[in-house]
Structure 1
Amino acid sequence: MALLRLTVIGFIVLTIIYVCLSLYSRAVRRCKLRAEWDEEGMTGDKDAFIEQGLQEYDGSLRRKLILGVYIVPVTCVAILIYVINFM
């Protein structure tokens, strides 16, 4: 029963952290795209440029690395449980 409680609460906490980190990372990327637009003095539709940059960001490795929020803590807890019980 305690393992189930740990799993559910852990999943909820990790999901909140993942969502916050994902939104923060996307906001930072949006700011960088705006700064790039202003620095280079581009012409055309600024919003379209930003949306295209965000679509490229959605498929990037950086976006996928944020999933480490789930993988790293679960792996650490599994190793800790194994070491405590079987070594």
Structure 2
Amino acid sequence: MFGVMRLVLVLLVLQTIAYVALSLYSRAVRRSKLRARWREKGRTGDEEAFVVRGLKAYDSSFRRKLILGVFIVPWVAIAALIYVVNFM
């Protein structure tokens, strides 16, 4: 029983690290794309306000929510593996 608890704890820690890393990377990529779009269109005004508005829109986007799959996919895979091994 303690082996399973340790496995679950290690998996949750690894998933959290992966989620934070993916979130930071994805946000940095989005920020650089927003800055590139600003420069490409040759806009005038406050570039930082444009980037902040774009990141705020990104925070509520579906793409951002897909990163939560880091927590869901491994557990579904483990459950499917357990089902296949024990019942098929």
Q: Bin the TM-score by the shorter chain.
A: over 0.9
Instruction: Name whichever of 61-70 and 74-83 sits farther off.
Output: 74-83
Amino acid at match of 2:79: A
Amino acid at match of 1:65: L
1:50-81: CA deviation from partner (whole Å, max 9, x where unpaired) = 00000000000000000011111110011111
4+ residue segments displaced more than 2 Å: none
Q: 1:36 and 1:83 mapped to 2: Cα distance?
A: 48
Alignment of 1:5-24 (within 5 A): 5-24=6-25
Root-mean-square deviation (Å): 0.8
- How many residues matched? 87
Which segments of 5 or more consecutive residues in structure 1 lack a partner in the other structure?
none
Alignment of 1:63-82 (within 5 A): 63-82=64-83
Indicate the residue corresponding to 2:3 in structure 1.
2
TM-score (norm 1): 0.95
Question: % of aligned pairs identical?
Answer: 60
1:7-50: CA deviation from partner (whole Å, max 9, x where unpaired) = 10000001000000000000000000000000000111110000
Amino acid at match of 2:60: G
Indicate the residue corresponding to 1:53 in structure 2.
54
